Structure 1
Amino acid sequence: MLSVPHPSARLVPVACALSAVLALAPCALASPTAANTTISADAQTTADVSWDERGRLVLGAADALAALETLPEDSPAAVSWGEGGSRTGWFGQAWMDVDGDGCDTRNEILARDLSDVDFSREDGTQGLDAGRGQGAAVCPDATVWSGTLHDPYTGATIAFQRGQDTSDAVQIDHVVPLNYLYAHGAWAWDERQRLLVANDPLNLLAVDGAANQDKSNCGPATCPAGSTETGTWTAATGPGWWPDDVGYRCEYARRFVSVAAAYNLGLPDADADALRTALTDCAAGGNGAVSVPERVRRVGARVGRTVLSNRVYTLVCAAGALLIGLGLLARGRAALRAAGGKRPPRPRPSHRGR
């Protein structure tokens, strides 16, 4: 996921007033099965499917729970990823054609996740064959010009239309965000492994653009925040993020752990605990959803984190608080003037009992 300002910033005015096997991934060793089939990584390893089919290598709830317990300890980055060039510096340009098939990752994920896909500039919905040679330079034979997304994060149905002003309605999310990956171990990986995880179909989903912005760089319970330059860097601070669509919570938790396991990524304790709680509920037949009070707490913490991690917002809020204080003081003085500036008389002491 691209690094963008956290959408909680939109709430600030209100708040102020108030793994090694992946090096072989591009090799296709087996014919794909149905696209909507989920494969247990225990039953079929990454070496058994092509790169484009890796999106189906999602662990079941019980297997994800077991994999969670085998992850290494968290290895937090000492400095923020801006020190090494942020997204491009650490993970390469978006979106690379890592498997060398002539099509960039973004178009491949759109083609996988959208329905009613149109591959041609011609009127009407045209299939892949009709679109060959009509695409953009990044994917001349399979550019996705339009389609329909049934968003996994919100449950909404979104019409996608390729274009400068319309493409952002559907974005490609890194389930385990790139900044999060960097913050918890990818800072020590080699360039090839970082490039792979940034383009791995297992770690990518086409989602509602606004939901993607809201998620930002967060895991289930923590987010990397701040920067070394401003002295605000922390690899893990609350409250984290979960999809709004309760029906997708289990799939999200399973996919998050599947990516972490595939790349041997350590997780902060808070994220591991949140995933463990959700997956335990999922394995028992539940939906893995957090409670409403917990969701409210997370939203409040997210706004607070946005304010504190940005000097401008902090100054704006401080100025707002000062103005509110001065306003209250002025009102108090005005009330005193309206009352003639006199204090109410003190009650005389009682002489009873003398």
Structure 2
Amino acid sequence: MRTTSGPRAAVVALAATLALGVAGCVPQDEPDTPPSSDGGNAVQQLGQLTVATAGSMKGYSRDHFPHWRDTGKNCDVRDSILQRDGKDVKLSGCNVVGGRWESVYDGRSAADPADVDIDHMVPLANAWRSGADEWDDRKRGDFANDTTRPQLLAVSASSNRAKGDQDPSQWKPANREYWCKYAESWVTVKHYWRLTVTSAEKAALTDMLEGCTVGNES
């Protein structure tokens, strides 16, 4: 058998080395991303949540959930959510000063950002009673400013304040067409942050998820 030597051998060896490197390349681990939200997936995640009685409010303060974090010069997470959820948004620098928002909770519209609240899907006080009381303030800040999960939502101030810190067994959006998405989002947040649910909360979520199907956007 004829062997290759000289410059040609070097080229062949280099090609073989490059081919091996490409074939043996292992991609870097991707950061954790939330699974796509759909009824079936939410039901599965709900079944994985720990059921427990609500914890005490002892020691609770919103100051233990530092927000809103800076997202640019003179703007913060609130501005980012207003910009994400609004239409025809007007900016001054990166501050949101105008636009149009429709609250998915009750269908109310607003043209002034001062009339819009940024709702924590899982309220801070509810999170405290569900296990966040054992976190440090840094982790609680991560939770309060979570823009990756469906935890932050621009809604009407009246609906946000009516909701307060109640769970789905105590409060549901007036817009029934949003119940499926609401339940999916609630479960996604609690599942990612490993928060507990009460038995009444789980029953309400189970009921809301009935009829939800993959790809349901309501």
Q: Decide: shared fold, TM above 0.5.
A: yes
Contact 1:74/1:265, CA 8 A, preserved across alignment: no
Partner of 1:322: none
Q: Indicate yes or no: 2:73 matched with 1:111.
A: no
CA offsets 1:148-200 (integer angstroms, 9 cap, x no match): 00111011222124xxxxx1x10000010000000111111222221111111
Query: Aligned letter for 2:31?
Result: A
Q: Give 5+ residue unaligned stretches, structure 1.
A: 1-44, 121-130, 132-141, 162-166, 222-239, 289-354
Whose Rg is larger?
1
How far the C-alpha of 1:247 sits from its partner, in A, is: 1.3
Contact 2:99/2:111, CA 8 A, preserved across alignment: yes
Decide which of 126, 142, 151 is 1:196's aligned counterpart: 142
The alignment of Structure 1 onto Structure 2 pairs a total of residues equal to 187
Partner of 1:62: 40
Cα 1:255–1:286 change in 2 (3 A) is closer
Decide which of 69, 77, 95 is 2:68's aligned counterpart: 95
Cα 1:206–1:61 change in 2 (3 A) is same
Decide which of 163, 167, 177 is 1:215's aligned counterpart: 163
Residues of 1 paired with 2:130 and 2:184: CA distance?
Answer: 19
Structure of higher RCO (CA pairs closer than 8 Å, 6+ residues apart): 2
For the residue of structure 2 that corresponds to 1:249, the secondary structure is helix
Residues of 2 paired with 1:65 and 1:112: CA distance?
Answer: 28
State the identity as a percent: 34
Q: Normalized against structure 1, the TM-score is what?
A: 0.49
Q: Give 5+ residue unaligned stretches, structure 2.
A: 1-28
Partner of 1:172: 118
Residues of 1 paired with 2:205 and 2:154: CA distance?
Answer: 22
Q: Which has the higher strand share?
A: 2
How far the C-alpha of 1:212 sits from its partner, in A, is: 0.5
Decide which of 11, 25, 31 is 1:47's aligned counterpart: 31
Residues of 1 paired with 2:45 and 2:38: CA distance?
Answer: 10
For the residue of structure 2 that corresponds to 1:107, the secondary structure is helix
Contact 1:74/1:185, CA 8 A, preserved across alignment: no
Residues of 1 paired with 2:215 and 2:65: CA distance?
Answer: 37
Query: Aligned letter for 1:186?
Result: A
Q: Indicate yes or no: 2:195 matched with 1:261.
A: no
Cα 1:287–1:245 change in 2 (3 A) is farther
Q: Indicate yes or no: 2:111 matched with 1:159.
A: yes
Cα 1:285–1:273 change in 2 (3 A) is farther
CA offsets 1:248-296 (integer angstroms, 9 cap, x no match): 11111110000001101110010011101111222399999xxxxxxxx
Cα 1:115–1:285 change in 2 (3 A) is closer
**C-alpha RMSD of the superposition:** 2.5
Query: Aligned letter for 2:82?
Result: L
Partner of 1:145: 97
CA offsets 1:306-346 (integer angstroms, 9 cap, x no match): xxxxxxxxxxxxxxxxxxxxxxxxxxxxxxxxxxxxxxxxx
Q: Normalized against structure 2, the TM-score is what?
A: 0.77
Residues of 2 paired with 1:244 and 1:46: CA distance?
Answer: 38
For the residue of structure 2 that corresponds to 1:283, the secondary structure is coil
